[in-house]
Structure 1
Amino acid sequence: MSKIIYLLPLLFYISCNKGKTEPKTNLPKIDYKWIQKTNETNAREKIDLILSGNFMTEDLYLGLSNDFGSSVITPRKRDANTFIFTIPKSLSKISGVLSYSLSYNNHVIDNGNINILPLNTALLETYCGPSHMVASLIDYSMIVVIPNDIYDNPNSGEHYTVEFDTKTKIEELVQTDELLSHRRIYSRQKKGKVLAKAYIDTIKSKVSDIIILANNATDFTISYTRNTSFSDGKELTTLKTSVIRDGYDNIIENGTMVNFYLTFNKTHLKIHGKVINGIATAQFVHPEIKREYSVQAFIENVSTSNIINIKYTTPNF
């Protein structure tokens, strides 16, 4: 229990003095020597700090701290006066600044920093989105690339990003900034798919798909078909649009809703149909009395059709 109490001030000291390298003053003079110590090293499975001095092992501790937390380790003896501190894998494999404080007999007698560098890039982690964009000259998606080493540490450097479709291929060298890089992928004027990836030397990322959808529909025309013009309350009239396209001549997406408004006097009826292969259809039952409808279709807040008039007459039998 007493050792745990002793360690708490040490952890507090490490946390408050991270990044400071000046040893604490007004402490008893203790003769010791670092046999193996480094200020900079690559991330790896094992980092040993070796110390020589006349210490009692049970009173010697090394406090460690990085951006992910703090820890305290005890040494193992190589001989009577040589002590080895092995930094745990959970800290030695993480790139960044690792601060340490050497404590003996409840006094911090030395401290410093080890700059742990990432290894060479082993993986290109990529994110691409949004996964859909509309046909245009201004809409875009974005590919974000994070180069990582084998321990998942972000790395710096440069790599290539590639975007390609059935007709074009664009390759660009991108520099990593603030641990990642990004590049815009602009849409095309035609519907389809764009593929994006990144690579450096023989390391390649996954390929991401970006779907280009049709833009907003332009105005269209409507027509109708029916077997008879009788107002018998039984027959059906079919309303049909022309092939609906966007401003780049792309057929609009299946499932787009088209609303047909039928007006007579001050009464309004509404029916709707979904676009399939660019055409929307809808049906309604003939009225039971003589009537004339004025019909117009809309894709709400986007486009409109022409106006047609449909007359229904009373059969003469």
Structure 2
Amino acid sequence: MIYQHIKIAVLFISLLFISSTKQLNVGANELPVTSRAGEEIILQFNDISPKARLFLISPYGKTLLKPQKCEDKTCYKIPEFIANKSGVISWKVEGRQGEILILPDEGPEKIETYFGPRSIQAGDGDFSMLVAIPLDKYDNPLEDGTSVQTQEYYAEVIQKDSLSMKNMIAWKNFPTREKAGKILLSASSRHVFSKELSSRIYPSVPANFQISLNRIHDYADGNQVATLSTSILKDRFGNIVSDGTLVDFLISTETGKKLKTTASTINGVATAGVLHPEKPNTWKIRAVVNGIADSDLIEIKFKPVLNDFEVIIEPESKSVKVGPLQSFLDQQIPEGTTVTLTILRKNKINFKMQEATKKAYAIFNLPEEQEFLENDIFKVETLGITKSLKIP
């Protein structure tokens, strides 16, 4: 009989604990076990020293509380800033101890959202992540299980979803798509709504491409500019690559020289200018997006712009006159074209000099000490053409 009375008493105390979210009465002591953020929390004791201090552990740290007199009891009021913070606080006083679970306020006042990265690549594997945190008016995250709704807009289609808070957050990954574009997103909880969130889907890395060279003529005049162009650079999903993608044009000449020029894409196309060589040559050209994509290889040939030219040697004035130098339409070659004079004596270089053309002529005025001997060979080179002769 006594055992049944004990069971009934235990059951009564358990029901009292479950039904109350504020306090548990143990004898004449009033000791709260749960509370809501913003509610006043007071611990009341009738059987401890009125001078005892209460040791309190909260999310803000550890502190000692002085007692207050409440009629014939000893009371401890939890500071408001602690009572407004959700979580568990622990207390100890004169060998007694307990915990109080502070729950968030019931209604959300705002919703914090974090969405990123804000730029992702088209294709597969990449994503932007949403983290949403509904908060009460004391900035406490709401309880686990709180519902968060999302709306996603992409390519004129709206998709809705419902998330549940767990460990104080609700989150979801939003995967990229194959086509470049923009994802718009919002999150809400009950009557609270987030601002508009967005993530830009950029084209992926370019696939291999083609190149071409456009020129007015195919003569090696050292004057005209040829234009190198790529085809429209696209990724493997058909998206035109982002403006500003760098393309390197690599040129190998038949003499073993390496040339390079760089251009940025605009609307998927990279265009660069390159000056015609001054000598007949064959170029092998390819283009690369460094470490990512490559073009085909093209071969371009340049013909000589000159067939012949006149050289006049004047031993008396110690000068050599070259010209007129005329291009493929009998026009004057460009001003400043380099002409090289080499004097060979016994198959060794005795003298060498360069001059730039002026009005289709190059005139070499040799120093007074330079001798003109009968067997000297005068070799003149310009625009890939070489002419050798002796003193007449």
After TM superposition, the score normalised by the length of structure 2 is 0.66
Indicate the residue corresponding to 1:147 in structure 2: 134
CA contact (8 A) 1:64 1:70 kept: yes
Change (3 A) 1:77 1:262: same
Indicate the residue corresponding to 1:268 in structure 2: 258
Mapping of residues 95-244 of structure 1, within 5 Å: 95-102=86-93, 108-120=94-106, 121-155=108-142, 156=144, 157-244=146-233
Gap runs ≥5 in structure 1: 1-31, 103-107
Provide the identity percentage.
29
**Count of aligned residue pairs for this structure pair:** 277
Change (3 A) 1:302 1:54: closer
Answering whether residue 297 of structure 2 is matched by residue 302 of structure 1, we say: no
CA contact (8 A) 1:118 1:153 kept: yes
Q: Displacement of 1:235 after TM fit?
A: 2.1
Q: What is the letter of the counterpart of residue 217 of structure 1?
A: P
Q: Displacement of 1:195 after TM fit?
A: 1.3
- Give the structure, 1 or 2, with the largest relative contact order (CA under 8 Å, sep 6 or more): 1
Change (3 A) 1:284 1:54: closer
Q: Does the residue aligned with 2:297 lie in a helix, a strand or coil?
A: strand
Indicate the residue corresponding to 1:73 in structure 2: 65
User: What CA deviation, in whole Å up to 9, does each residue of 1:285-304 have, x standing for no partner?
Assistant: 22111111111111122222
User: What CA deviation, in whole Å up to 9, does each residue of 1:50-79 have, x standing for no partner?
Assistant: 3345844xx221221124311111123244
1 CA distance for matches of 2:119 and 2:60? 36
Q: What is the letter of the counterpart of residue 179 of structure 1?
A: M
Indicate the residue corresponding to 1:21 in structure 2: none
1 CA distance for matches of 2:39 and 2:165? 26
Structure 1 or 2, whichever has the larger Rg, is 2
Q: Displacement of 1:82 after TM fit?
A: 3.2
Q: Does the residue aligned with 1:306 lie in a helix, a strand or coil?
A: coil
Mapping of residues 243-262 of structure 1, within 5 Å: 243-262=232-251
CA contact (8 A) 2:32 2:42 kept: no
Q: Displacement of 1:48 after TM fit?
A: 2.3
Answering whether residue 31 of structure 2 is matched by residue 37 of structure 1, we say: yes
Note the aligned Cα RMSD (angstroms): 2.0
Q: What is the letter of the counterpart of residue 263 of structure 1?
A: S
Q: Does the residue aligned with 1:91 lie in a helix, a strand or coil?
A: helix
After TM superposition, the score normalised by the length of structure 1 is 0.81
Q: Does the residue aligned with 1:250 lie in a helix, a strand or coil?
A: coil
Q: What is the letter of the counterpart of residue 65 of structure 2?
A: I
Answering whether residue 44 of structure 2 is matched by residue 50 of structure 1, we say: yes
Q: Displacement of 1:154 after TM fit?
A: 1.9
